[in-house]
Amino acid sequence: MNGDRAPEALVYLGQDDWCGSGGCALYILHRQGGHWRLVNSVTVTWPPIRVLATKSRGWSDIGVQVSGGGIIPGYEAVLRFNGVRYPGNPTVPPAFRAGKGAKGRIVISTDSEQDWLAP
């Protein structure tokens, strides 16, 4: 996601302990040396989660779905890296609504749980 060739991971915690009416927790991790470092967590997200084609401060922007918890209709929010972290809540600035046609790649789909549980 940041072009340094070290792996990153987006971890979506979709179980009840990590979710509320507005969505679930997303963790962004970066591999440094032999350890994973938490970049930050983002609350109230829903899949699909996308890595967008745009970048901010050298890191790929992330698209997350926002809905529920009083947000009707839902929409895709863009999270931009500020040099230290991504926004922790996609429903308030500096996160913003994605424009139509925003390009990106789905990394966590709405049926990801099925993928993980398949034999």
In the DSSP assignment, the letter for residue 17 is G
Using DSSP, state whether 75 is helix, strand or coil.
Answer: strand
Domain annotation covers residue 80? yes
Domain annotation covers residue 79? yes
> Residue 83's domain spans which residues?
8-117
Number of domains in the chain: 1
Domain annotation covers residue 102? yes
What does each of the 119 residues of the chain score in pLDDT, given as a tens digit? 998 989 999 999 988 888 988 899 999 999 988 899 999 999 999 999 999 999 999 999 999 999 987 777 889 999 999 999 999 999 999 999 999 889 999 999 987 554 444 33
Whole-angstrom distance, CA of residue 41 vs CA of residue 58: 19
Domain annotation covers residue 48? yes
Contact predicate 78/30, CB 8 Å: no
Domain annotation covers residue 2? no
Domain annotation covers residue 18? yes
